[in-house]
Structure 1
Amino acid sequence: MSAAAEAGLRRILAVVDLLIDAVDEETLVPALLPVLLSAVPGDSIIWAPRAGTSDRTLTFPADLLSQDVRDAFTREAATDSLVTHTTVGPGTPMRRSTLQTRSEFHALAAYSDVYRPFGAEQQLAMSFPAGYLDGAPRKVCVAISRSGSGSDFSDDDVANAALLRIRLSHALDRLSPPTPAAPGVTLRESAVLALLAQGLTNQQIAHRLDISPRTVDKHLEHAYAKLRVGSRVAAANAWLTRGPTATRSGR
């Protein structure tokens, strides 16, 4: 193994060690961000606990994003193909340069309002299932950026991010607080209902939970009977009124 490969392996193992020892997400993430930024080198890293939003976002360096930048991201995220990949797409590690040319990136409103203010010229982003947040299933998004003076992310960077993605997902799922229990609705039905209440289609729910649309239909059919409703709108309203009520006995 080359010296560079050994150094890369040591950086990945440093992340793994942190994940193994973690006892809660609140203390893990601030310590994790600089170590992740060493494992997949860049100038800055953004950790979004709910992919596709700026809610509770943490960064390294700290205070990377002004409120104006956060507000602009909320307005313009839907037009950004890299954000789409991490939210409703598969969320596998992806270089921005794989999705669009530099000129296409610079033409985005999000470039001038979001990315240029903190010097993000090259980006690598990924998302992964991470248990529950506020009773709803969620994906965490991680975006690493490099300035214009740096080179683009390499194939090795993408491969290392893929290795870390699996371990991050397992660790965050382990640290996720349990869903409040109530009779009847299973954990998987709870996950489907929570996303339904957020306005997602069956296809989007299937993508988010890594199941088929047909399976989503079956979960909704069972949940309708338990909630005593007969439509998507009624089920969503019932879920928003009652809150998450799943037990871990049925996935």
Structure 2
Amino acid sequence: MNHLTRNDFASALQVLAQIEAQAVDVESFARATVLALNAYVASELTTLLDCDLFTGHRQVMGLTGVRVGADEIACFDRHFFEHPLVLHHGMDGGLQARRISDLVSRHDFQRSALYGDYYQRIGLEYTIAVPLFHDHRRLVSVVLNRRGLDFNERDRERLELLRPHLAFLYRHARQAPALQTGATPPPVARPAADVSAPGLTLREEDVMHWLACGKTDAEIAALLSISPRTVQKHLEHIYVKLGVETRTAAVMRALAAADHDSHVLPTVGGPARSPLPRQAG
């Protein structure tokens, strides 16, 4: 069920703009994401976790004034391959934001060694994870934790709304050091989305589609058989029509407009349409 409102889309846009303005590398992305999400979905502990799916160890990033001790981290690592969210996102390839309670009953979770040795020890009860990157070796997720009240479906939908765009910003933050040194950045998965907004031409919708997939101007030009300069002109027109100044903001504003028109949550990350090249312009 769609619990999202226009205010949720507006808040998501603000969160992404805040992160985009501060994320120049992975560490700054982690800090900015934790700070922005704390005001977006309430959480006692929010972190960016970079998990090694071979060794079962994780790197905890983005903590602001909160420290998880070495003993607690080691305890979590001992039960790494039992964690419902690690199994779902890391092993089974789950793509969407999920709560532990989506995957295992409260009764069974409280009886697990993971809960007794780790969650009960640090005083946390409920967890939701937002996967940003996954390959055969690594899983990177934003993880939010609470004590007294589980995340509800609206919380999950709000985080899922952000997920593909956070993944896009994470990818660019990860590539930034390599781009600065001229090295070839590691390959990463690209999100897919189908977005449109009132007032856009068919060609501008094509550009918006590939923009949401994380394509560069040159890649969009090649896909649509137009010049990079023409792509830039289309983007200028899109920004004016949507009242935004950045690529991420354009995608979020288009999603919000589509939601308002259809009253149905846009399927971000779902099957992408493949627009056929039309005449340049």
Q: Please state which band the TM-score falls in when normalised by the shorter chain.
A: 0.5 to 0.7
Which residues of structure 2 form unaligned runs of 5+?
Answer: 190-281
Structure-1 residue corresponding to 2:86: 83
Structure-2 residue corresponding to 1:58: 61
In 2, Cα distance between the equivalents of 1:72 and 1:5? 40
Structure-1 residue corresponding to 2:128: 124
In 2, Cα distance between the equivalents of 1:92 and 1:38? 21
Structure-1 residue corresponding to 2:12: 12
Structure-2 residue corresponding to 1:171: 169
Contact 2:27 2:61 in 1 (8 A): no
In 2, Cα distance between the equivalents of 1:27 and 1:59? 8
Structure-2 residue corresponding to 1:39: 40
- Greater shift, 162-171 or 118-127, is seen at 118-127
Quickly say closer, same or farther: Cα 1:130–1:77, change in 2 above 3 A: closer
Matches within 5 A, 1:78-117: 78-89=81-92, 90-117=94-121
Quickly say closer, same or farther: Cα 1:31–1:126, change in 2 above 3 A: closer
> Over aligned residues, Cα RMSD in angstroms?
3.1
Quickly say closer, same or farther: Cα 1:158–1:65, change in 2 above 3 A: same
In 1, Cα distance between the equivalents of 2:27 and 2:13? 21
In 1, Cα distance between the equivalents of 2:52 and 2:127? 16
Contact 1:91 1:127 in 2 (8 A): yes
Q: Percent identity?
A: 23
Structure-2 residue corresponding to 1:142: 142
For residues 120-153 of structure 1, the C-alpha deviation after alignment (integer angstroms, 9 at most, x for no partner) is 212111212279xxxx9743112111112x2x21
Corresponding letter in the other structure for 2:168: H
Quickly say closer, same or farther: Cα 1:127–1:158, change in 2 above 3 A: same
C-alpha deviation, 1:33, in angstroms: 0.2
Contact 2:90 2:134 in 1 (8 A): no
C-alpha deviation, 1:7, in angstroms: 5.1
What SS does the aligned partner of 1:176 have? helix
Structure-1 residue corresponding to 2:156: 158
In 2, Cα distance between the equivalents of 1:31 and 1:59? 8
Quickly say closer, same or farther: Cα 1:45–1:128, change in 2 above 3 A: same
C-alpha deviation, 1:118, in angstroms: 2.6
What SS does the aligned partner of 2:71 have? helix
Contact 2:29 2:170 in 1 (8 A): no
Displaced runs of 4 or more, over 6 A: none
Contact 1:76 1:110 in 2 (8 A): yes
For residues 59-92 of structure 1, the C-alpha deviation after alignment (integer angstroms, 9 at most, x for no partner) is 5454342111110111111112222112123141
Could you state the TM-score of these two structures normalised by the residue count of structure 1?
0.60
Quickly say closer, same or farther: Cα 1:137–1:18, change in 2 above 3 A: farther
C-alpha deviation, 1:174, in angstroms: 1.3
Quickly say closer, same or farther: Cα 1:62–1:114, change in 2 above 3 A: farther
